[in-house]
Structure 1
Amino acid sequence: MADMHTSTQDNVTRYLSLDALRGFAVMGILAMNIIAFAMPEWAYITPLAYGGDGVADQISWLFSFIFIDGKMRGLFSLLFGASMLLVIERAETAGRSGMRTHYARMFCLLIFGLIHFYFIWFGDILVTYALIALLAVQFRQWEPERLIKWALIVYALGFVMWALQFGGLQFLQWAATQPGADADLARQFREVVNSPELQFNVTQELTVHRGGYTEIVADKLTDWTQPFTAALQALTETLPLMMLGMALFKNGFLIGSWTAADYRRWALRLAVTGLVLNALVGLWVALSGFDKITALAGFLAWSLLPRLLVTLGYAAGLLLLIDKYASSPLIARVAATGKAAFTNYLGTSIVMTTIFYGYGLGLYGSVNRAWLWPFVLGACVVMLWWSKPWLDRFRYGPLEWLWRSLARGALQPMRR
């Protein structure tokens, strides 16, 4: 596999591998985000909170947890790191300041993300990317080996931090629920379980999201710091993934420079190992009766290592797939979906909130978990349907054009 199917458009080199991977990622992200679009937030973590009464719904949760949760976001984070290097390189080749271009883009992305969070959907990831990218870019000149080493160190530190927190919480739960448990331990555990952070708040969320637009916006504005705290919580996962993305771009992994045997070997080693480990965590949560503490620990702590393995394994496997079917019409459409990923990501939020929230069709909380898959499939079909014809006529997706124009301070040419 040589550098995978590059093309030159408007004097800019594009890599089919990066575009198609981004296309798969933006479609895959919706498969998890759909829960938070359609149900109270805790349903994402445990079906015990909402939408988990039926066997099909619980199987749906388990399938998503094992195969999808965090992996598509992980792919997106890898690609974001790689894209930072590409943008800086292209700017410097064109005689502009690479760092100034990066900072301008991240400032605009931050504004887009804040608008997305406050006025469209609370599950925004753009603020997190914009803020963490300001740190990640400082390592852009490191060699791949150094990037990989420190990325894994930061990731491991994050794992230890979450494991200590939730492992301790699980130990407290076990100790406090044993026959003859110490009264003080039992009291501490009750205080933790009854804390506001561990309440499902289903009735409140149903009321808010079945209401009007102004009520939904007002509810988010009451917790205006959430996008920034979310970025801080995601730091030890997203930063190392961006660093790995930079390393894997530099060493040729993300652009198809490795051999097919290498991609196949890493796909099998990483994906299979990670999926088995993740399945064990998911089954543990299921066998606990989807207990909220066990589910939260599985989601935030114990799935971290499997999630990284599966993300990298998926990347290797998808790169093999993209190379094998590079000339197919479907991969061309997936790549176009990836080129317009920013428009597709924000457009999906607009469409899905309009379908589920009270100011739209008002389906919030009324569609079973298993029946959300047709919504995901329908949205993916739409992304694949519109992206390529649009990009055959125009240089950028609509929001990509707006982002580029704002970052450069001038309207960019749109038509080909």
Structure 2
Amino acid sequence: MTAATQRYLELDALRGFAVMGILMMNIVAFSMPEMAYISPAIYGGTDLPDMMSWLMSYLFVDGKMRGLFTFLFGASLVLVCDRAAAKGENPARTHFSRMFWLAVFGLIHFFFIWWGDILFLYAVIGSIAYFMRNLEAAKLIRWGLVLYAIGFIGYALFTGSLFFLQYAAAAAGPGSEAALQYQDALDEIAPPAAALSAEVALYLSGYVDLLSYNLTEKWFDPMVLVVANSLETLPFMMFGMALYKNGFLTGEWETKQYLQLAKRTLSIGLILLMPLGIWMIYSGFETILTLNAVLSWSMPSRLLMTVGYLAVLILVIQQFASHPLLHRVAAAGRVAFSNYLGTSILMTLLFYGWGLGFYGSVGRAELYLIVSIVWGIMLLWSKPWLLRYRYGPLEWLWRSLARWELQSMKIAK
């Protein structure tokens, strides 16, 4: 098998675990008002099952699954460009054509299916990351850490400024300009009951109403998402490129190295996160504290645990390389694009008003039963499909559009 055609079980299976994990992260955003993702006190309830579901998600899922996906996107960027060059194709033309159509898919996903899209973000940041693909692994890691540190400081200052606003409002007293500004900020983070009811009603309305809302009220949000997440997404892509180049993601390190890295990163990450989770619970999910702990203070742990998960999963993949279930996960990873967008269609059909209309009515803990069912669907369809076809349905469409040529789909018998 040549470098231009070689597949890595590690990369395919990692991508499969990542696309399954993304649903664990997104399920609350599919089914409840947007800010319920931040705090169960905003929506969804704080009884013990829901509280534990939130805590487990905060500690083990939040940001880390997107981290896995982003690392792997960076690795795939290098792999695709290397394969293009090995076949005598222009890597730049191949890459930017792919990013253009990924951006188109992302905008369609955002406006016509679900607002939580990451494809447009990946297309824009991936276009920047392309110019770093030839850096050595050590430089990618070093500069990625610099950018990530800048992002962490920037996010912490931005969300931390709300503590100053809180102090100013308390000092100025009720009715003051500072108090009014503080209340406006609180209403944005933790909307009052009337606003939450209106949001639920919107997502239980018809498809045309939702589409009109997206096109008129959220038309600039994809670019806002790019700006807000660039200093996390770009470093994660750089780390993915580096870990592909140095053999980490393709399973070339020694078992001892993976074990040591997993122990260090996961233990430190949890040691940093656990006090934050407990603090939020004991504060009754005080709004400003919770926003800071979820969005900015968790960033160091997010990076550490993403790397730790990669190390653990590579060991699992190597240990069970011949297991049929592992190969089903790898198949889900080979059609990750179809699984990602297909999940959005399935979940909006389940929760939104133009579908079955369960939005806002399923408990946080019960949502993970739905996650397990959808995982089963991913594992059931992906492998049989790939036994007959070269690509997933959306992978085929993306590839055909990017190459301006219909790709051969069926596997020759």
2:205 aligned with 1:192: no
Distance 2:280 2:176 in 1: 22
Distance 1:62 1:266 in 2: 24
- How many angstroms does 1:58 deviate by? 1.2
What SS does structure 2 have at the residue aligned with 1:154?
Answer: helix
8 A Cα contact 2:4 2:82, kept in partner: no
Distance 1:153 1:184 in 2: 42
Instruction: Letter of the 1:343 partner, please give it.
Output: S
Describe the superposition over 1:299-319 as per-residue Cα deviations: whole angstroms up to 9, x where unpaired: 111000111000001001111
Equivalent residue for 1:298, pick from 282, 286, 293 = 293
2:313 aligned with 1:322: no
Structure 2 residue aligned with 1:27: 20
Structure 1 residue aligned with 2:352: 357
2:257 aligned with 1:266: no
Distance 1:69 1:53 in 2: 18
Distance 1:94 1:280 in 2: 52
- How many angstroms does 1:182 deviate by? 4.5
Structure 2 residue aligned with 1:217: 211
Equivalent residue for 1:371, pick from 362, 366, 371 = 366
Instruction: Letter of the 1:88 partner, please give it.
Output: C
8 A Cα contact 2:166 2:182, kept in partner: no
Aligned length: 406
What SS does structure 2 have at the residue aligned with 1:13?
Answer: coil
Structure 1 residue aligned with 2:138: 145
Instruction: Letter of the 2:366 partner, please give it.
Output: W
- How many angstroms does 1:52 deviate by? 1.7
Structure 2 residue aligned with 1:5: none
Q: TM-score, normalised by structure 1?
A: 0.94
8 A Cα contact 1:175 1:185, kept in partner: no
Structure 1 residue aligned with 2:153: 160
Distance 1:10 1:357 in 2: 45
- How many angstroms does 1:276 deviate by? 2.0
Judge which range, 47-56 or 136-145, deviates more: 47-56
% of aligned pairs identical? 52
**What is the root-mean-square deviation in Å for CA atoms of aligned residues?**
1.7
8 A Cα contact 2:3 2:83, kept in partner: no
Structure 1 residue aligned with 2:251: 256
8 A Cα contact 2:169 2:182, kept in partner: no
Structure 2 residue aligned with 1:47: 40
- How many angstroms does 1:175 deviate by? 6.5
Distance 2:277 2:337 in 1: 31
Return closer, same or farther for 1:224/1:182 CA change in 2, 3 Å cut-off: closer
Q: Structure 1: state its 5+ residue gaps.
A: 1-7
Equivalent residues in 2 for 1:91-240, closer than 5 Å: 91-173=84-166, 176-177=169-170, 181-183=171-173, 187-195=177-185, 197-200=188-191, 201-222=195-216, 223-240=218-235
Describe the superposition over 1:60-83 as per-residue Cα deviations: whole angstroms up to 9, x where unpaired: 111101100010100000000000
2:234 aligned with 1:244: no
Distance 2:283 2:165 in 1: 16
8 A Cα contact 1:278 1:307, kept in partner: no
- How many angstroms does 1:203 deviate by? 1.5
8 A Cα contact 2:172 2:179, kept in partner: no
